[in-house]
C-alpha cells in the first residue's frame, strides 16, 4: 500500500503534536484524522476504516506510565486487527515501547522526531501491512554495519532497540556476560547515530587505577605531576562531538564514580593542573558484566550514577540462550578463518552442529570464535569434524574446593583464589574486590604460596 492512498488516524492528547502531524501528512496521504481523546476510539473505528494509527503512549500527564498506550493498543487490535499501529513515545518510555512491539504494534517513533524519519516509518509499516517486500532486513543490515550476526528473537529485539535509540543522545548502559559482544553493540549504536562520522572513543574503565583515572579521562596540563611533560587531552575531550564508550564501568571504585558523576552531570571536564572547565559534547555508552542487581547495591555503585548512565538499558543474552545463532556464528567464523588460513573450501560436518548446540559456552561468542579458529587450523582437509572441536579448558577449571578447614588463614586463602579466578588472574581487579591494595594482595599471595 502506498502512502498517497492511505487513511491515517492520529491519537494524542497534545494538540501541538496533532497539529504538527496533520500539517506533515495532509499533502502526503489520502486522509488524516486527529483525535485528542482515546475514549472515542470505539465509535471512530466502528464508523471508519483506517490503514494506520499513530497512538501516543501516555494520556494522563500526571501518571505517564505508558500503560495507557498499551491498553489502547489492545483495544485497537481487538476492534481493527488489520490496522497497523505506530506508538508515539518519549525517551523514558523506550522499554515500554519495545514491549508494545510484542503486543502487536508495528513500530514506534520517539518525540521529538525528524519528519523524514516519521514518514519512512509510516511507509515501512504500510508496506509490512500489505505484505510488500522491504529492502533490507535487520540481520543483513547489522551484519554489514557492525558485524553483529543473529536471527534469534532476543537478538532481533536488540537490533530493534538499537535502531530506535541510536539516533537519540540518550545515555546507554549495556549489560551482559563476558564475551557476549557488548563492544560490538556499543559500536553499532555509534554507527547508527547522528554522530557516526565523529570520534568513537573506547576506554576500559575497569583497568584504570585511581592514580591514572583522572589523567586518562580528563587530561592534564604540563607540569601537573612529575611525568607531565606536555599538555594532554583526556578521553572525554577526544570524544567531543562523538561517542565515549566506557567498558567495564561496574569495576570502578566509589571514588572514581564520584569524579565521573560530576563530569557527566555538568558536561564539563577540568584537566589536572588546571582550574579552567572545558565544555564537552558527547554521547555516553557504558557497559559492564556485573549483574544489575549487584550494581544496585549502593555499597558498590552510586545509585545517582546509575540513573545518569542508564537512560536506556540493553541486556545482551548469553550465547546459550540464542538458539540457532550458534550455528550461524559457527558458519561465519568457519568462512572467516578459512579465508585467513587459505582453506577457502572448508565446511562443517553435520555432527558438529549437534555438538555445538549441546554445549553451554561459558565464554559466549568469544569462546565460539576461538574454538572455530582452532578447528580450522588443526583439522585435516576441508571438513571440520566433531573431534576437531575442542572447547577451551580455561572455561572448565574446577572451582576451589570447599574444605572442612575453617581456620581464618584457609578461608582467606580460598577467598583470594576464588576472586583471582573470577577476574582471570587480573590482580588489580581482584585487589579491588577484596578491598586490598595491590601491594597488600601480593603480600598475601607470597604468604599463602599462591
DSSP class per residue in 24-73: HHTTTSSEEEEES-GGGHHHHHHH---SEEEEES---TTT--SHHHHHHH
Please tell us whether the domain made up of 408-447 is placed in CATH 1.10.10.60. yes
Q: Which of 74, 52, 73 is nearest to 128 (CA)?
A: 52
User: Is residue 401 pLDDT above 50, yes or no?
Assistant: no
Q: To the nearest whole number, what is the mean pLDDT of the chain?
A: 85
User: Is residue 245 pLDDT above 90, yes or no?
Assistant: yes
Q: What topology does CATH give the domain 154-315? A: Rossmann fold (3.40.50)
User: Is residue 381 pLDDT above 50, yes or no?
Assistant: yes
According to the model, what pLDDT value does residue 140 have? 41
Category of 64 on φ-ψ map: left (φ > 0), alpha (ψ -120 to 50) or beta = left
Which residue has better confidence, 11 or 418? Answer: 11
User: Cβ distance 8 to 118 under 8 Å?
Assistant: no
In our burial notation (b when 16+ CB lie closer than 10 A, e otherwise), range 132-149 reads: eeeeeebbebbeeebebb
Which residue has better confidence, 373 or 3? Answer: 373
Helix (H, G, I), strand (E, B) or coil at 255: helix
Query: CATH number of 319-396: 1.10.8.60, 3.30.300.30, 2.60.40.420, 1.10.580.10?
Result: 1.10.8.60
User: Is residue 91 pLDDT above 70, yes or no?
Assistant: no
**What is the percentage of the chain residues whose pLDDT exceeds 70?**
89
Q: Which of 100, 11, 115, 1 is nearest to 54 (CA)?
A: 11
Domains of the chain by residue range? 3-130, 154-315, 319-396, 408-447
User: Is residue 233 pLDDT above 70, yes or no?
Assistant: yes
Q: From start to end of 280-357, where are the E strands?
A: 283-288, 312-315, 347-348
Average pLDDT over residues 17-43: 91
Average pLDDT over residues 77-106: 80
According to the model, what pLDDT value does residue 330 have? 95
Q: Which three cell numbers mark 18?
A: 496533532
Q: List, for residues 407-422, the tens digit of each pLDDT value.
A: 787 788 888 888 877 7
User: Is residue 198 pLDDT above 80, yes or no?
Assistant: yes
User: Is residue 402 pLDDT above 50, yes or no?
Assistant: no
Helix (H, G, I), strand (E, B) or coil at 348: strand
CA distance 227 to 209: 17
CA distance 166 to 368: 28
Average pLDDT over residues 305-331: 94
Please tell us whether the domain made up of 3-130 is placed in CATH 3.40.50.2300. yes
User: Is residue 232 pLDDT above 50, yes or no?
Assistant: yes
Q: State the Cα torsion 429-435-438-439 to the nearest 10°.
A: -170
**What is the percentage of the chain residues whose pLDDT exceeds 90?**
51
Task: Examine domains 154-315 and 319-396 and report if their fold is the same.
Answer: no
CA distance 161 to 203: 23
Q: With bands split at pLDDT 50, 70 and 90, how would you rate the model's confidence at 130?
A: low
Q: Which three cell numbers mark 351?
A: 555432527
Amino acid at each position: 500500500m502506498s502512502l498517497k492512498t492511505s487513511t491515517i488516524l492520529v491519537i494524542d492528547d497534545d494538540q501541538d503534536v496533532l497539529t504538527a502531524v496533520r500539517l506533515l501528512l495532509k499533502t502526503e496521504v489520502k486522509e488524516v484524522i486527529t483525535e485528542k481523546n482515546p475514549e472515542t476510539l470505539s465509535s471512530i473505528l466502528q464508523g471508519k476504516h483506517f490503514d494506520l494509527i499513530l497512538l501516543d503512549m501516555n494520556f494522563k500527564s500526571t501518571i505517564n506510565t505508558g500503560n495507557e498506550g498499551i491498553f489502547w493498543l489492545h483495544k485497537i487490535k481487538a476492534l481493527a486487527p488489520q490496522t497497523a499501529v505506530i506508538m508515539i513515545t518519549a525517551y523514558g518510555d523506550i522499554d515500554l515501547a519495545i514491549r508494545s512491539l510484542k503486543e502487536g504494534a508495528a513500530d514506534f517513533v520517539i518525540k521529538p522526531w525528524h519528519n523524514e524519519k516519521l514518514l519512512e516509518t509510516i511507509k515501512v509499516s504500510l508496506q509490512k501491512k500489505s505484505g510488500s517486500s522491504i529492502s533490507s532486513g535487520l540481520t543483513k543490515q547489522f551484519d554489514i554495519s557492525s558485524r553483529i550476526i543473529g536471527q534469534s528473537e532476543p537478538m532481533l529485539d536488540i537490533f530493534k532497540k538499537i535502531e530506535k535509540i541510536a539516533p537519540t543522545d540518550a545515555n546507554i548502559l549495556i549489560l551482559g556476560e563476558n564475551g557476549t559482544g557488548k563492544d560490538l553493540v556499543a559500536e553499532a549504536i555509534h554507527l547508527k547515530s547522528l554522530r557516526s562520522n565523529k570520534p568513537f572513543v573506547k576506554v576500559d574503565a575497569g583497568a584504570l587505577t585511581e592514580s591514572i583515572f583522572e589523567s586518562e579521562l580528563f587530561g592534564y596540563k604540563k607540569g601537573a605531576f612529575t611525568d607531565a611533560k606536555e599538555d594532554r587531552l583526556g578521553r572525554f575531550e577526544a570524544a567531543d562531538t562523538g561517542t565515549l564508550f566506557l567498558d567495564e564501568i561496574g569495576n570502578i571504585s566509589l571514588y572514581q564514580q564520584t569524579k565521573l558523576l560530576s563530569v557527566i552531570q555538568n558536561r564539563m571536564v577540568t584537566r589536572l593542573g588546571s582550574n579552567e572547565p572545558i565544555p564537552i559534547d558527547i554521547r555516553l555508552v557504558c557497559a559492564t558484566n556485573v549483574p544489575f542487581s549487584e550494581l544496585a547495591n549502593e555499597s558498590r555503585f552510586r545509585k545517582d550514577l546509575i540513573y545518569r548512565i542508564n537512560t536506556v538499558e540493553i541486556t545482551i543474552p548469553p550465547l546459550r540462550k540464542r538458539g540457532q545463532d550458534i550455528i550461524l556464528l559457527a558458519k561465519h567464523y568457519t568462512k572467516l578463518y578459512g579465508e585467513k588460513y587459505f582453506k577457502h573450501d572448508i565446511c562443517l560436518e553435520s555432527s558438529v552442529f549437534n555438538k555445538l548446540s549441546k554445549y553451554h559456552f561459558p565464554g559466549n561468542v568469544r569462546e565460539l570464535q576461538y574454538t572455530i579458529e582452532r578447528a580450522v587450523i588443526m583439522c585435516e582437509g576441508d571438513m571440520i569434524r566433531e573431534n576437531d572441536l575442542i572447547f577451551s579448558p580455561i572455561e572448565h577449571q574446577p572451582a576451589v574446593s570447599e574444605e572442612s578447614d575453617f581456620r581464618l588463614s584457609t578461608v582467606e586463602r580460598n577467598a583470594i583464589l576464588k576472586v583471582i579466578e573470577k577476574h582471570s588472574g587480573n590482580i588489580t581487579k581482584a585487589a579491588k574486590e577484596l578491598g586490598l591494595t595491590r601491594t597488600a594482595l601480593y603480600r598475601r599471595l607470597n604468604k599463602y604460596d599462591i
